[in-house]
Amino acid sequence: MKRATRQLIVIISGLILCISAGLAEETQKETTLEEIVVTATKTEKKVEDAPGSITVITREDLKKQNIQTVDDAFETLSGVFVKRNKGLMDSTAGVRMRGFSGDQYTLVLLDGQPLNDAYTGGIEWGMLPVSNIERIEVIRGAASALYGGNAMGGVINIITKTPKKLELEANTGYGTNDTLQYRLSAGNRFWDRLSLRVGYEGERTDGYVTTPVVSTISTGAGNVSGGYPMDDKYGNPTRWVVGDKGKNGAERQSFNAKASFDFSDTGKVSFIGIWGNHEYDYERPNTYMGTFGSNSTYAIVGPGQRARFRPSDFISYTGMGKNETQMYTLALEEIIGPVKVHAQVGTVIVDDRYTQPTGTGFYYYDNSPGTLKLTENEAWITELRGDLPIAKTNILTIGTSFRMDKSDTDDYNVPFYRSFHGKGASTFYSGGKSQNYALFAQDEWRVFDPLTLYLGLRYDWWKVYSGASGVPGSEIEYESNKESEFSPKLAAVWKALANTTLRGSVGHAFRPPSLYELFRTWTSYGTTYQSNPNLKPETVWTYEAGVDQYLFDKRTRISLTGYRNDIDDLIYSMTVGSTKFRTNAGKARTYGLELELSQKVTNWLSLWGNFTYTDAKIKESPTDPAGEGKQVTGIPKYTWNAGLDIKYKWLMGRLQGRYFSKIYNDSGNRDTANGVYGTYEPAFFVDGKLTVTPLKWVELSLSADNILNKKYYEYYLPMGRTFFAECTLRY
């Protein structure tokens, strides 16, 4: 941390010097377009006038980075932490905001349509296309007053492109680990009313070795040599590495289509459809011992110490997985009298499956039986709202929404764990349904020219029903469960000076438990994860204050935001023997600070940096007293990012550094070891991308990630230095 802090001081010092140099060099003013956002208030607002801490990622910003999946775009934002431990192969990647650990606390939208699935509330980032994105709006902080559940940490709205003329684009790329990417899209506007766009994206990689095979050290004499020692996550010398589980590879593809028709001068109807597929698998494992072992095979560890290993150790947790996600939405906008009406209906349909080997002892990569976990879930979402100007000082937004979720999960035995085929009858079932009705309203009141107040109110009725779990034919059927939640929010934006904006807010947010938490019971390697159909929603009161300061004709921007979250009814796990029970047993408190700096040094050079402090701690946890007063798992206490952007004629590029501090995976913060499998150690990465445009219709780029070739454990071993070259043809 000290070394990284020194690096940050050097970068900030350089930034200050460049500010001075830039002011001396640049005298002419530039004409820039004001950034407009719609997510913060559901009405169009300039970023500097909108309540809250907001970042807009433009299409040009996306070009400056090596964006393989959409979540890569958030890696360098303040107040946001992206968990993607092993690139495209990661099936549990997530975006975490404001100290909340998991996708289920962040509401993700695509053109206003919620994408969080009906099962866990998570996102399959691999199904989302990148090339059809116009911009992304990131709203930090609780937003349940407008958006209801899942918006405890913030809201991300991905805005897609609507073509205004003929647009053709083809992209291909190749890089380290035999990574191949291809993207195609075409769009046009007809009769000045109808816009159509279609696209396809594909990517595959052979991947790399992510997981060692570790055996527990015991007393006795060994009989084969090889391997090396590795501490456990607590720093104890109890493990011996006998091999690895082979390369972990993956592929994804996505089809997308959009149609938009202006049926009047003020009205339009639009349709979006996306089908995405993400798969991962493992190649053959490798042994460092000359053999894959048997019941009597022991690694020689040292005097009087050994470590037993068997063939099945090399394939544990190495099944294959496949996720298919479909998303469709139909939206209507029109002005009727003084009211601007918005109506939307959509669905998210997910088919998710993965296998695990069940063979023990001598079962191996080529012959182990396994289990298949198959989950089918779908969500249907509708919303109707209207924006009504009242006099010259108020805009009233009133709306209603409805969401219905359904999920079914079955476990099957399969003859071979590396195949989805051959399943028999279901051996275990879990599933259920939920509904959420809501009414919401927001009044935007311009009290006087410098001061605007926003008062939001939302009331949600949540019901879960038709829940069941157990062996088919003798399932336990659960009674329905009902809750309601009132989510108010008051925000103020005060333009104290022409280039100084003060903002503050206080609000309440909630997250209803997912169908997974309510009904899914499952067992893995001796541990049973028990559902709880009586769980209640998690809630938070959040308090935020910030200032945005522009200097030197808006060439310099400084933003500082502080916040506090008081969280109740945290869904936590209680361990009894070999069973983990979910319960509303926790309270947590988060204090956070987010600092952002940016400087346009010249017309072609910009510098930027940010720092995030997140003190997220468990305050009460009767089911896990060891976790009280400890840092929330999955969240770094400190992060900082810094970089420079260039754009000069036919040349565009970015060089960036990103740091995050120690992350705990143990609720008692006892996993203090670094550099070993299963831990998250402090890490600093340097990435870069350079793009040249030799012709108007040709772009060539080269990306280098982890330029310093640092190998830090983020549970798994991440990739070392990688390169990726691209060619884009555009009309």
Segment 670-692, tens digit of pLDDT: 999 999 999 999 999 999 999 99
**Mean pLDDT on 554-582:** 88
Q: Could you count the other beta carbons within 10 Å of the beta carbon of residue 99?
A: 29
Residue 223 has pLDDT above 80, yes or no: yes
Split at pLDDT 50, 70, 90, the class of 144 is: very high
pLDDT of residue 313: 95
633 and 526: one domain? yes
Each residue of 381-422: pLDDT tens digit? Answer: 999 999 999 988 999 999 999 999 999 999 999 999 999 999
**Mean pLDDT on 462-486:** 94
Split at pLDDT 50, 70, 90, the class of 36 is: confident
DSSP SS3 for 171: strand
Residue 594 has pLDDT above 60, yes or no: yes
Matching residue, tokens 């809201």: 155
> Smallest Cα–Cα separation from 580: which of 638, 497, 524, 634?
524
222 and 350: one domain? no
379 and 419: one domain? yes
**Mean pLDDT on 486-494:** 97
Q: Could you count the other beta carbons within 10 Å of the beta carbon of residue 283?
A: 15
Q: What is the 3-state secondary structure (H, E, C) of 525-592?
A: CCEEEECCCCCCCEEEEEEEEEEEEEECCCCEEEEEEEEEEEEEEEEEEEEECCEEEEEEEEEEEEEE
Split at pLDDT 50, 70, 90, the class of 33 is: low
90 and 51: one domain? yes
Q: What's the number of domains the chain is made of?
A: 2
428 and 380: one domain? yes
Residue 6 has pLDDT above 50, yes or no: no
* Cβ–Cβ under 8 Å, residues 593 and 615: no
pLDDT of residue 565: 98
344 and 226: one domain? no
Each residue of 95-141: pLDDT tens digit? Answer: 999 999 888 999 999 999 999 999 999 999 999 999 999 999 999 99
Split at pLDDT 50, 70, 90, the class of 66 is: very high
Each residue of 156-209: pLDDT tens digit? Answer: 999 999 999 999 999 999 999 999 999 999 999 999 999 999 999 999 999 999
Matching residue, tokens 């309270």: 587
225 and 155: one domain? no
- What is the residue range of 304's domain? 216-242+286-314
Task: Kindly state the helix (H) or strand (E) to which residue 344 belongs, with its residue range.
Answer: strand 339-357
Q: What is the residue-averaged pLDDT of the chain? A: 92
Give the span between the Cα atoms of 518 and 431, in whole angstroms.
9
349 and 304: one domain? no
pLDDT of residue 704: 97
Split at pLDDT 50, 70, 90, the class of 34 is: low
362 and 487: one domain? yes
295 and 257: one domain? no
Q: Which of 295, 314, 333 is the last residue of a domain?
A: 314
> Tell me, what CATH number does 76's domain have?
2.40.170.20
**pTM here?**
0.93
Each residue of 269-291: pLDDT tens digit? Answer: 999 999 999 999 999 999 999 99
CA neighbours closer than 13 Å in the CB half-sphere of residue 123: 31
In degrees and rounded to multiples of 5, residue 313 shows phi and psi of -65, -25
395 and 440: one domain? yes
Distances (CA, A) of 90 to 74, 201, 252, 268: 16, 18, 12, 39
The rounded percent of the chain whose pLDDT value lies above 90 is 84
Give the span between the Cα atoms of 319 and 339, in whole angstroms.
54
pLDDT of residue 4: 44
Q: Could you count the other beta carbons within 10 Å of the beta carbon of residue 292?
A: 22
**Mean pLDDT on 298-317:** 95
pLDDT of residue 353: 97
